[in-house]
């Protein structure tokens, strides 16, 4: 059985304020007073363990599809071009029926997942440095992980609640409220500020974490360490179109982690010890989403029952679009995992499947993503020869036809390779936004958004601020941007001009 470094009692105590019955604002009270927790490095480590528990298992609302980061990754993928959802919770995301509205559960579910986590992290960040006694390297490791987690959380929020950086920053568009100190239910809510200010905080947190974690050696891949921070910085700089830094940080990770082998590709993406995994979520019988393997992410992929037994209940509702399947060459090893489900006429995939004891791990970051970040960053810098070499390194490994493209056509090949290599890993929706591409579902798909394609830069790619936040925060008003603080919502054709 896998071993988890969680202080469960402390984690449970810290989470007790995060119940489904309570309305969770951006500034909730913590269940354990800071004075009681931060009297030693052991207490600080317990508080940090509670934050990890919130990251993996915390709820943003009463629905299971608001629990934990993995569920948010699944939402992002089902909002894209390539996965078909035929039943289950994620039909709301897949159909784009209006779940981005501020008065719908999904917006508040995301908001209320990240901000309580940030508030608990703020206590760790504020009080760990002033603990008397204890080894400095222990304090640095705790502080570095907390800063990394907070930087990651703000990056997730800004990608969800604002247009992509390349469009929003030049227009000085709003960011998300930034809290850097512990707050209570008496703390006045902050305004949205600007997107530039939000990214300054993200880079500050990750930059400090990079220094503090330089000598830190983690014992589990579910913890933040220097490599995870470097991978996050590659993601952030890619979003900011700072191509040289996106490339540089991708290279730092690639120097330490190999690509996923074809044998590992066929193994089900369920083992955090896989050499290419940089970051992931470990699972065992005591650490399962919803406390039931039937609700785990693997249960949504249409292969769960055939692999794990007819006596298992399963959502069995994630399929692949036929036009996406046609993107793969016949000799591509990834294409050999596709099978037509006769009763549906849709393709199923064997990329993700659970372990026999139903305790499969979840991947959050792997080296192959970093290689694709590098290829894209190189191509955007006009370094086509190097970009082509990076792209073809992955294609050759997978048995795919090598690209011979240059310029924009090369970038299109890189974008296509991201879809083929990373599907199901949480990138689809954010990639469409960052690449400023439309949602264009062709071939076999269920109906979505009233059957209307969603053009590039549509406001349907952006969540509104939750209505409850606007009602409870005097510094965020309900007027629609640019007159006020609320993001627009309308027909899919409503785009950022």
Which tokens in the block code for residue 454? 């969603």
DSSP string across 268-310: TS--TT-TTEEEEE--BTTB-GGG-GGGSGGGGBTTHHHHH-T
Residue with tokens 């940080």: 249
Q: Of 243, 480, 270, 283, nearest to 375 (Cα)?
A: 243
Q: In Å, how far are 43, 97, 251, 362, 452 from 492, measured between CA atoms?
A: 49, 10, 38, 32, 7
Angle at 98 between CA 93 and CA 348, to 5 degrees: 20
Q: Give the per-residue pLDDT at 11.
A: 38
Whether 276 contacts 367, CB under 8 Å: yes
d(CA 449, CA 93): 10
pLDDT at 357: 83
Query: Is the separation of the CB atoms in 199 and 165 below 8 Å?
Result: yes
Angle at 410 between CA 404 and CA 412, to 5 degrees: 130
With a CB cutoff of 8 Å and minimum separation 6, the contacts of 87 are 315, 316, 317
The DSSP bridge partners found for residue 366 are 277
Q: Please give the Cα distance from 437 to 457 (Å, whole number).
A: 7
Contact 347, 341 (CB under 8 A): yes
The pair of three-digit structure tokens given for residue 198, joined into one six-digit string = 């939000």
| Number of other CB atoms surrounding residue 108 within 10 Å | 22
Domain ranges of the chain: 1-216+427-497, 234-423
Alpha carbon 145 to its chain's center:
17
DSSP secondary structure letter of residue 23: -
Write the CA distances from 331 to 311, 384, 396, 401, 418, integer angstroms. Answer: 35, 25, 11, 8, 18
Are 390 and 247 within 8 A, CB to CB? no
* Residuewise pLDDT in 10s, the chain (497 residues): 333 333 333 333 433 333 322 222 333 334 456 778 899 999 999 999 999 999 998 888 777 777 889 989 999 999 999 999 998 889 889 988 888 999 999 999 999 999 999 999 999 999 999 999 999 999 999 999 999 999 999 999 999 999 999 999 999 999 999 999 999 888 999 999 999 999 999 999 999 999 999 999 999 999 999 999 999 999 999 999 999 999 999 999 999 999 999 999 999 999 999 999 999 999 887 776 655 666 678 888 887 555 555 555 578 899 999 999 999 999 999 999 999 988 888 999 999 988 888 889 999 999 999 999 999 999 999 999 999 999 999 999 999 999 999 999 999 999 999 999 999 999 999 999 999 999 999 999 987 766 678 999 999 999 999 999 999 999 999 999 999 999 999 888 999 98
| DSSP assignment letter at 342 | T
Token look-up 């037509």 returns 340
How far apart are alpha carbons 117 and 107 in whole angstroms?
16
pLDDT, residue 311, reads 53
State pTM to two decimals: 0.93
Right CATH number for 234-423 from 3.40.640.10, 3.40.1350.10, 1.25.40.390, 3.30.450.20? 1.25.40.390
Backbone angles phi, psi at 490, to 5 degrees: -170, -155
Distance CA 347, CA 444 (A): 10
Dmax (CA) for the chain in angstroms is 66
Cβ count near 306 (within 10 Å)? 15
Q: Which of these, 160, 130, 340, 363, lies nearest to 269 by C-alpha position?
A: 363
Same fold, 1-216+427-497 and 234-423: yes
On whether the CB atoms of residues 48 and 60 are closer than 8 A, the answer is no
Tokens standing for 435?
Answer: 């690449």
Write down the architecture of domain 1-216+427-497 according to CATH. Alpha Horseshoe (1.25)
């Amino acid at each position: 059985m896998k071993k988890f470094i969680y202080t469960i009692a402390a984690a449970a105590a810290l989470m007790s304020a995060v119940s489904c019955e309570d309305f969770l604002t951006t500034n909730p009270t913590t269940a354990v007073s800071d004075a009681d927790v931060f009297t030693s490095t052991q207490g600080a480590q317990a508080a940090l363990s509670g934050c990890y528990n919130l990251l993996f298992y915390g709820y943003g609302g009463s629905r299971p599809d608001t629990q934990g980061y993995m569920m948010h990754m699944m939402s992002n993928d089902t909002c894209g071009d390539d996965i078909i959802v035929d039943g289950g919770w994620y039909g709301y995301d897949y159909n784009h029926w209006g779940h981005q509205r501020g008065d719908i559960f999904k917006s508040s579910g995301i908001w209320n997942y990240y901000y309580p986590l940030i508030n608990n992290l703020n206590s760790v960040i504020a009080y760990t440095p002033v603990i008397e006694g204890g080894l400095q390297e222990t304090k640095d490791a705790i502080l570095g992980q907390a800063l990394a987690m907070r930087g990651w959380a703000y990056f997730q929020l800004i990608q969800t609640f604002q247009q992509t950086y390349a469009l929003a920053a030049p227009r000085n568009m709003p960011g998300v409220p930034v809290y850097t100190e512990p707050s209570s239910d008496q703390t006045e809510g902050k305004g949205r500020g600007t997107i530039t200010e939000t990214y300054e905080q993200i880079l500050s947190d990750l930059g400090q974490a990079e220094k503090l974690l330089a000598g830190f050696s983690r014992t589990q891949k579910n913890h933040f360490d220097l490599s995870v921070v470097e991978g996050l910085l590659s993601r952030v700089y890619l979003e900011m179109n700072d191509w040289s830094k996106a490339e540089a940080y991708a290279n730092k990770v690639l120097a330490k982690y190999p690509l996923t082998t074809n044998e590992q590709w066929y193994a089900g993406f369920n083992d955090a010890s896989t050499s290419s995994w940089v970051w992931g979520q470990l699972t065992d019988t005591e650490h399962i989403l919803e406390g039931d393997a039937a609700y785990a992410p693997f249960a949504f992929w249409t292969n769960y029952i055939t692999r794990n037994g007819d006596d298992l209940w399963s959502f069995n509702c994630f399929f692949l679009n036929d036009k996406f399947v046609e993107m793969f060459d016949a000799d591509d090893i990834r294409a050999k995992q596709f099978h037509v489900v006769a009763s549906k006429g849709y393709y199923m995939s064997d990329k993700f499947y659970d372990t026999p004891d139903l305790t499969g791990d979840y991947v959050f970051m792997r080296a192959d993503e970093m290689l694709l970040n590098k290829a894209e960053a190189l191509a955007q810098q006009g370094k086509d020869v190097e970009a082509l070499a990076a792209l073809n390194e992955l294609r050759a490994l997978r048995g795919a036809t090598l690209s011979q493209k240059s310029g924009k056509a090369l970038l299109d090949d890189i974008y296509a390779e991201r879809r083929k290599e990373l599907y199901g890993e949480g990138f689809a929706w954010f990639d469409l936004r960052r690449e400023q591409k439309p949602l264009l579902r062709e071939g076999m798909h269920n109906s979505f958004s009233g059957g209307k394609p969603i053009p590039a830069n549509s406001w349907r790619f952006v969540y509104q601020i939750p209505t409850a936040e606007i009602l409870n925060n005097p510094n965020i008003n309900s007027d629609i941007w640019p007159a006020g603080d609320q993001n627009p919502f309308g027909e899919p054709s409503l785009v950022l001009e």
